């Protein structure tokens, strides 16, 4: 049995980032991974979905789009990522790791590796399959299956109107599928302000998708040539396949974490303190950390990488600090793009803040006029909302819907994170003509100017 300073369970984005930092600082590191090194994002999630969205916007046909998707996803071949970690000094142990006792992990019941300083759990998340009667008897996809398939269904039902459901609905609708999206909430993107979901519903319907909100699948059943979907509201309809996009849950079952004195509740995330140390009861488990989706804090690659840096700083004893999740960006890469950060107005009020809200019509910018003129059409709907703590005088949240919002609105994440005074934001000059000019009218309103 070989002993390392640190053993990491999971070589996804967070695990890959952490291993590189620790090995680069001279620690001995082993990472246990049974699937792809690099995780789902580059091969089965973020990269392929965004590639397909951009290919659709560029007018590519499905065959070309799939080719570009697979090239961007490196044909789901992790040899490059594997080689990079090994060259940095990381030992990669292929297989399923299970904690056998404090200080030791067994891999596939055969090989064992031990840690002397820390165990880090970075096993990510897995799709949640809703308890819809009949799903096990009909053709279904999870998002990772959809994003690795060359099939273009003529008719597709999408269950769930979160970020993944919206992105994939737009992908398949734009490539010609007859898409029906079922979302049980009042609108899509239920975690964002309702006007955001309403704008995205309008965009998806403009692409030909049948978006049904306040509706979920009561049951599904096989029929000749496809699937019959019976919703709990409205008429049944038939499709060729059902895409399940109803959320994900932390992947922590069967890891043997009970051997560390942890209680493992199915579906619940690992509880961590601000330095990503795993908590149990009123204290932390010595030498045990968790990061990424398994913590349930923020289901984004950039958040996982941030937590990896927090853990690395803690283990290396250099600039150790608490994690600050107030300004983790959230992005949905549909057309229009949705970018949000911090608190919504309702969430801010629930926290007892004295809330001020201001909106800006992004279509009134010079950039919107120019792009509309170049395309020979009116500017597409686009909007910005800023949420401020009136008493403190700074932003606590923002959401933007519009072209390239993930880029031009990113400065608002800095404003929320650094608690930049509204007066400073008023004096910030944006280049003309840019989308970012839409920020000034809302900031001026919040400042009383």
Same-domain check for residues 31 and 96: yes
pLDDT on residue 434: 97
205 CB contacts (<8 Å, ≥6 apart)? Answer: 211
Bridge pairing between strands 226-231 and 97-101: unpaired
Say yes or no to pLDDT of 358 above 80: yes
Same-domain check for residues 443 and 337: yes
Strand blocks (E) in 48-194: 91-94, 97-101, 104-107, 111-121, 125-127, 140-142, 155-159, 178-183
- pLDDT band at residue 267 under the 50/70/90 scheme: confident
Q: What are phi and psi of 307, to 5 degrees?
A: -65, -35
Name the burial class of residue 173, with classes exposed (0-12), middle (13-18) and buried (19+) by CB atoms within 10 angstroms of its CB: buried
Distance CA 108, CA 110 (A): 5
Last-in-domain residue among 246, 270, 285: 246
Same-domain check for residues 147 and 296: no
What's the CATH code of the domain at 104? 3.50.50.60
Same-domain check for residues 122 and 253: yes
Last-in-domain residue among 217, 246, 275: 246
CB atoms within 10 A of CB 76: 14
Q: For residue 334, give the H/E element and its range.
A: none
Same-domain check for residues 442 and 336: yes
For residue 60, is it within any domain? no
Distance CA 203, CA 226 (A): 27
Diameter of the chain measured on Cα atoms? 69
3-state DSSP call for residue 384? strand
192: DSSP letter: S
Range of the domain at 199: 135-246
pLDDT on residue 208: 98
Same-domain check for residues 112 and 257: yes
- pLDDT band at residue 318 under the 50/70/90 scheme: confident
What's the CATH code of the domain at 368? 3.30.390.30
pLDDT on residue 67: 98
pLDDT on residue 320: 86
The DSSP result for 145-169, as a single string, is HHTT-----SEEEEE--SHHHHHHH
Say yes or no to pLDDT of 264 above 90: no
Distance CA 9, CA 239 (A): 39
Same-domain check for residues 12 and 26: yes
For residue 169, is it within any domain? yes
Say yes or no to pLDDT of 266 above 80: no
Q: Would you give the end-to-end CA distance of the chain in angstroms?
A: 68
Q: How many domains does the chain have?
A: 3
Task: List 120's β-bridge partners, or say none.
Answer: 8, 289
Does the predicted TM-score (pTM) go above 0.85?
yes
pLDDT > 70 fraction of the chain, expressed in percent and rounded = 100
**Sign, Cα dihedral of 237, 242, 245, 250:** positive
Same-domain check for residues 241 and 141: yes
- pLDDT band at residue 101 under the 50/70/90 scheme: confident
Mean pLDDT of the chain: 96
For residue 24, is it within any domain? yes
- pLDDT band at residue 431 under the 50/70/90 scheme: very high
Backbone conformation region of residue 280, classed left if phi is above 0, alpha if psi is from -120 to 50, else beta: beta
Closest CA to 117 of 261, 277, 257, 254: 277
For residue 321, is it within any domain? no
Last-in-domain residue among 316, 344, 362: 316
Q: For residue 430, give the H/E element and its range.
A: none
For residue 54, is it within any domain? no
Same-domain check for residues 340 and 437: yes
Distance CA 18, CA 122 (A): 10
For residue 45, is it within any domain? no
Distance CA 211, CA 71 (A): 31
The DSSP result for 74-86, as a single string, is GGG--HHHHHHHH
Q: Compute the average pLDDT of residues 259-287.
A: 90
For residue 56, is it within any domain? no
Same-domain check for residues 141 and 207: yes
Same-domain check for residues 114 and 204: no
Distance CA 148, CA 143 (A): 9
Distance CA 46, CA 40 (A): 8
User: What string of H, E and C letters represents the secondary structure of 396-418?
Assistant: EEEEEEECCHHHHCCHHHHHHHH
Same-domain check for residues 111 and 178: no
Angle of the 163-174 helix axis to the 194-206 helix axis, nearest 10: 20
For residue 46, is it within any domain? no
């Amino acid at each position: 049995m070989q002993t390392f300073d640190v053993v990491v369970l999971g070589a996804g984005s967070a695990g890959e980032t952490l291993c590189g930092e620790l090995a680069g600082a001279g620690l001995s590191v082993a990472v246990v991974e049974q699937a792809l090194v690099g995780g789902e994002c580059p091969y089965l999630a973020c990269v392929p979905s965004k590639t397909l969205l951009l290919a659709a916007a560029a007018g590519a046909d499905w065959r070309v789009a799939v080719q570009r998707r697979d090239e961007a996803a490196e044909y789901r071949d992790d040899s490059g990522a594997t080689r990079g970690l090994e060259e940095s000094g990381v030992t990669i142990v292929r297989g399923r790791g299970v904690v056998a006792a404090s200080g030791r992990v067994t891999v596939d019941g055969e090989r064992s590796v031990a840690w002397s300083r820390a165990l880090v759990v970075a096993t990510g998340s897995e799709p949640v399959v809703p308890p819809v009667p009949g799903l096990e008897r009909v053709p279904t996809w999870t998002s990772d299956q959809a994003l690795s398939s060359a099939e273009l269904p003529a008719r597709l039902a999408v269950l769930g109107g979160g970020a993944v459901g919206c992105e994939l609905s737009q992908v398949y609708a734009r490539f010609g599928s007859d898409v029906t999206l079922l979302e049980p909430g009042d609108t899509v993107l239920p975690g964002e302000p309702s006007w955001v979901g309403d704008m995205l519903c309008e965009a998806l319907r403009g692409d030909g998708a049948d978006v049904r909100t306040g509706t979920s699948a009561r049951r599904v059943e096989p029929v000749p040539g496809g699937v019959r979907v019976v919703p709990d509201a409205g008429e049944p309809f038939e499709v060729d396949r059902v895409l399940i996009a109803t959320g994900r849950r932390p992947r922590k079952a069967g890891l043997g974490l009970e051997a560390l004195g942890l209680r493992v509740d199915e579906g619940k995330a690992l509880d961590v303190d601000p330095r990503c140390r795993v908590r149990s009861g009123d204290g932390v488990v010595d030498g045990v950390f968790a990061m990424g989706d398994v913590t349930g804090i923020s289901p984004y690659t950039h958040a996982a990488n941030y937590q990896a840096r927090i853990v690395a700083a803690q283990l290396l004893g250099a600039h150790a600090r608490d994690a600050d999740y107030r300004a983790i960006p959230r992005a949905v890469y549909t057309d229009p793009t949705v970018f949000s950060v911090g608190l919504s107005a309702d969430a801010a009020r629930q926290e007892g803040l004295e809330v001020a809200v201001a909106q800006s019509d992004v279509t009134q910018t010079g950039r919107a006029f120019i792009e509309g003129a170049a395309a020979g059409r009116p500017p597409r709907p686009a909007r910005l909302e800023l949420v401020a703590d009136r008493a403190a005088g700074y932003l606590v949240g923002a959401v933007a819907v519009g072209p390239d919002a993930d880029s031009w609105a990113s400065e608002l994440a800095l404003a929320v994170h650094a608690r930049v005074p509204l007066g400073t934001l008023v004096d910030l000059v944006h280049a003309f003509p840019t989308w970012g000019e839409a920020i000034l009218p809302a900031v001026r309103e919040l400042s009383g100017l």
